Structure 1
């Protein structure tokens, strides 16, 4: 195994993974077969879940090398409590070889054959099965994720728009490889990006696993990504900009929220700009040193912010 591949695995496995043994406490595991490949996902049902009441559903997509079973731990155990308190069903799918085919075709061919692994079909099948078997509200299905999982949620916003009401990628933007695609319907999106992310550059360019590593695909800037989705949703007018008060002066970060709300079908485009934030989940774990991945912002609980955003949106 090459040193490069070992580095990818080392960084990725620690991304959103709190310990060596995945915790499955409170999770129900299901298996689907897609094109002859067994695919696994884990479900968290809130304590008041009732299949007759059409609950909302959120897909939470792990980072590259990570695991669905440990997604909650990587958020410092904030994601499941946020879903529980909001009556949302959370699904944590597992990528093949702990990766997602997120559309960055320039590098994914080196790691896996995305012509044989159909992540889009898998996630669509998960949604359909959750609706059919657990009475999920088809108008309130959402997706979020970090890094590779964040890029995959951007891809879903372009290619699975008929199933999703909103997405919220964290530390991810629109890749150049997908830049010419357009969603079939308007879709709400919240981007949560750190301006000091050393792996996924806020201002666009080449994604890196380590600071001087080989390119993991070229991406548009955060500003360009916001502009594209404003265009997709026919948003007009200027943004409402809110600078949050500094609740933790010692973390070296500040948060500005830029919202475009005058868009068709009541969609919305929101940027949560974490000044000084790194390749991290705000309010989550400092899973590697700040020198490698940057700072975790303590100004917001991204799990709560994202799920509240989702619940403001449903498909017409």
Structure 2
């Protein structure tokens, strides 16, 4: 496809073959798309879909304005963010997906970003550990990182975490999660700050409840002054297993509150856009 002639936005359902398995993804090309655009890969949660992720975390209006591609891959089996099983190699899938986007849409290979929520957030964390050579920055919502799956942060990576203190599914305090052990929000931020050689003393900003929804936020910024690399954590006080600024996709008694005091899509894109692969 020649994107030079694409005057209107376009959303395309596509597939690639990975280890003999057909993998599906949906690609959004913004209005007046051009060559060399960045890419935001957005990973859905468990029991969700690319269609649901586009609805929950809608980067498309921002993509139209700032000219980047949005891709929502599908994982019908729910993201093998732990040890691979059989033919399902999620890291290889995203690796080949990046290559496809560069070849097909002339995307900027130095500006590939990944974000995700819940199971998609844990998969994003895995990619930060195992595919860091292809990803410029990541952002993780309502998830942290497995502590016993055989992979761990090794290489510097700009990274942002958003987590609610009242998340009923993935505890803000970490611990046991469906038979696995996961880091707490605070512990994983400190771990990444050390990997990125950031100043261990963060800059703290309080974000009040201007929306009147019973939530507020604390932003912690850890910075490496030499490289400009940052690790940022947002604690959503009284927030649930939700995407800030997104829809209340299930009732509050099941997933907790969705804060309207932060637009996660805009916040994540603003975090991503200064970074390129080193």
TM-score by length of 2: 0.92
Aligned to 2:125: 154
Aligned to 1:222: 185
Instruction: Tell me if the contact between 2:137 and 2:158 (Cα under 8 Å) persists in the aligned partners.
Output: yes
Aligned to 1:59: 41
Gaps of 5+ in 2: 1-8
Aligned to 1:92: 72
SS for the counterpart of 1:91 is strand
Instruction: String of CA shifts for 1:260-279, please: whole Å, max 9, x gaps.
Output: 11266432100011111000
* Deviation beyond 3 Å, 4+ runs, structure 1: none
Cα distance in structure 1, aligned partners of 2:192 and 2:200: 14
The alignment yields a C-alpha RMSD, in angstroms, of: 1.7
| Distance apart, 1:26 and its partner CA | 4.0
Cα distance in structure 2, aligned partners of 1:206 and 1:162: 30
Aligned to 2:51: 69
Instruction: Tell me if the contact between 1:199 and 1:293 (Cα under 8 Å) persists in the aligned partners.
Output: yes
Q: Mean Cα displacement is larger for which, 297-306 or 237-246?
A: 237-246
| Distance apart, 1:255 and its partner CA | 1.1
Match of 1:38 among 6, 12, 22: 22
Higher helix share: 1
SS for the counterpart of 1:90 is strand
Match of 2:143 among 172, 175, 199: 172
Within 5 Å, give how 1:253-264 maps onto structure 2. Answer: 253-262=215-224
| Distance apart, 1:137 and its partner CA | 1.0
- Whether 2:153 is the aligned partner of 1:204: answer no
Cα distance in structure 2, aligned partners of 1:181 and 1:221: 14
Instruction: Tell me if the contact between 1:242 and 1:256 (Cα under 8 Å) persists in the aligned partners.
Output: yes
Instruction: String of CA shifts for 1:21-72, please: whole Å, max 9, x gaps.
Output: xxxx941122111111011111101102112xx1110100000110012212
Instruction: String of CA shifts for 1:224-253, please: whole Å, max 9, x gaps.
Output: 10011112111124111111233212x110
Instruction: Tell me if the contact between 2:244 and 2:263 (Cα under 8 Å) persists in the aligned partners.
Output: yes
Cα distance in structure 1, aligned partners of 2:156 and 2:226: 7
Cα distance in structure 1, aligned partners of 2:179 and 2:238: 22
